[in-house]
Chain A
Amino acid sequence: GQNIDQPTEMTATEGAIVQINCTYQTSGFNGLFWYQQHAGEAPTFLSYNVLDGLEEKGRFSSFLSRSKGYSYLLLKELQMKDSASYLCAVRDQFTNAGNNRKLIWGLGTSLAVNP
């Protein structure tokens, strides 16, 4: 089956570093996305990984290991505004039928940043 697992909730302190893990089991793989969603708002794009390794973008970094079906989002120098839900999504395998290339979403990790 297709499954994406993320921790439900995490708590961290302002100024600290937090790592949000995502493991996936899908029939194929064509990239992994991380999105941020503040309460009552729409998700916004953070990062995209398709090759193994670390992608750094300012305070946010995302890592991918395809062999392990594993990714993490690293948030540095946490700020109060980083309190949000972080969604991991995997684009499934493209097939000749044009199916199964949709994004499979995790339930999200709710991060609370405390002062």
Chain B
Amino acid sequence: KAGVTQTPRYLIKTRGQQVTLSCSPISGHRSVSWYQQTPGQGLQFLFEYFSETQRNKGNFPGRFSGRQFSNSRSEMNVSTLELGDSALYLCASSLSAALNNEQFFGPGTRLTVL
């Protein structure tokens, strides 16, 4: 069974631009979560989607948005990029939204904002 895939793997953008990241969950998984990982802040929760609905949202500004499609694939968008948005963006999928469901992480997208 194929794992979680994320595209692109690496991205370089400049301040003010916008970016869209894509995540394809493991086949059959309906829950997708997005995280931002930086050395100083660790893993910070962005949002979680289940069956095309956003179920949870972290404490990030409105520049960060996401969506999930009927095939469970998910995208996240960051508008008006800032230098501080440079980070590893991880997507994780799980079978359902059950509390004990382990999350399977993708390899991440390394975003650098210049």
Contacts and interface: CB of A to CB of B under 8 A. Distances in A.
B12 to A, nearest CB: 18
Interface stretch (B13-21, B76-84, B102-110): B102-110
B102 A48 contact: yes
A41 B44 CA distance: 17
B48 interface: yes
Q: Is the interface of A mostly helix, strand, loop or mixed?
A: loop
Interface residues of A, number: 24
A101 interface: yes
Nearest to B91: A42
Contact of B107 (A31, A41, A91, A107): A41
B64 interface: no
Contacts of A106: 42
B105 A44 contact: yes
A39 B81 CA distance: 26
Contact of A45 (B42, B90, B102): B102
Nearest to B53: A98
A102 B100 contact: no
A33 B101 CA distance: 10
B58 A102 contact: yes
A108 B90 contact: no
Given A43-B105, A44-B105, A102-B48, A87 B99 contact: no
B99 A102 contact: no
Interface of B: 4, 33, 35, 41-45, 48, 55-58, 90, 99-100, 102-108
Interface of A: 30-31, 33, 41-45, 48, 50, 87, 89, 91, 94, 98-99, 101-108
